Amino acid sequence: MRWSLALAQVVAVLVMWIGGASGVFPINVCPCSKQSLCQPLPAKHQFQVEVVIVDIGGMDWKHYDWSKITTIIALHAVDNELLCHAHEKGVRIVMQDVLLQLYAPKMLRKLWITNLVRSAQRKFLDGINLKINEKVINYRGLPEVFTQIRDTFQRELPGSQISLTLPWTPDCRAFNCSEFAPTAESCDFFIVQSFAIHLQMWHDCFAKANAPYHQVSSGLSAYIRLGVDPQKLVMGVPWFGHDYTCMDFYEPGRCEIPKDPFKGAPCSSQVAKNISYNEIMQELPKSFTGRYWDDNYKSPYYVYKEGSSYHEVWYDDPESLSLKATIMKKLKLRGISAWFGNSLSYSFNPTAAMQTEDMWNSLCPIRRKWRT
């Protein structure tokens, strides 16, 4: 069974590679008004601070604060208008893929990387952001893979940006953590998802903050202690919250949640529903508590009731995000990343517009913008 699956993967990749080599994949015509806008941004095009926005599609990008963005990670197909606009603003657009070939034979890995490069070329993109497959149980060989990815992209697509998305803290019980520092040398930066920190709840089963300040700081510091250059780290922050249904509600901040074992832990934040900041701002006035602040987590939350069920919503807002942005300065990180740019309201409502502006400003609370 295992060999059949492996063979199927090999055949699939070979078909994709051969298709590209034989011209089955069409060479796209530049959709921009100027041919130069379809060229990848050069390697020398760098910023003192990276501000990476993760985009899930649609047309919200038209309302982004482009004075702050340096890179957009497109999780879905890139709109041609977005591509042209981003390049005109000097912003990189990169695609995302899952790193499946960590243990694959070298030839298969080479074909997979070749296909990634060709995909980026066809779409006029500036590089790639990779995520580790959740089934990977050891990072052994990661530096070698990333060296091969970097060398191929830089040869075929000069100026390419290569990044890797990682969990909020390195789990050295499960992975070979000595691989992180040399891997960082082979890519532009790591994007550390400094949220979903309570996927494993070991001591109690209560609703908790999505990105508590002290854990965010300790998680990033753990990568640095492993030898990763802080200038290779971008802190990912959430523009969404967690809506927990309380199994038992005792008081605000004491919402007991159902048990949901995850990786050995008895409870997990996976039981919560993700809710965008835009939705949170609409629902907050309807709550019976209003905005509460937890000084331990340095995060806001509120409680509402739906039928006979109590719900507790933990989220991040300009105050909590501005505090986390100071971690970037304290640890001398490369930058900050927002997940997701589409989570804000881009309506003409004056209140919503002000809330959205405050969220963008929280990415760089001191200077208001990182770009000149």
pLDDT in tens, 71-121: 999 999 999 999 999 999 999 999 999 886 566 778 888 899 999 999 999
Report pTM. Answer: 0.90
Q: Give the C-alpha distances (Å, rounded to integers) separating 134 from 5, 119, 175, 268.
A: 17, 23, 12, 16
The answer to the question of residue 127 being in a domain is yes
Determine the pLDDT at residue 4.
44
Residue span of the structural domain in which 189 resides: 2-361
The answer to the question of residue 371 being in a domain is no
Determine the pLDDT at residue 39.
93
The answer to the question of residue 115 being in a domain is yes
Q: Please list the alpha-helical segments (H only) found in the chain.
A: 2-21, 80-88, 106-122, 142-156, 180-185, 213-225, 277-283, 318-331, 350-361
Number of domains in the chain: 1
The answer to the question of residue 194 being in a domain is yes
pLDDT in tens, 244-269: 999 999 999 999 999 999 888 999 99
The answer to the question of residue 27 being in a domain is yes
The answer to the question of residue 118 being in a domain is yes
The answer to the question of residue 372 being in a domain is no
Q: What is the CATH number of the domain that holds 211?
A: 3.20.20.80
Which residue pairs from 284-292 have beta carbons closer than 8 angstroms and sit at least 24 positions apart in sequence?
A: 287/313, 289/252, 291/317, 292/252, 292/253
Is 331 a residue whose pLDDT tops 80? yes
The answer to the question of residue 183 being in a domain is yes
Q: Burial level of 76, CB count in 10 A (0-12/13-18/19+)?
A: exposed
**Mean pLDDT estimate for the chain:** 89
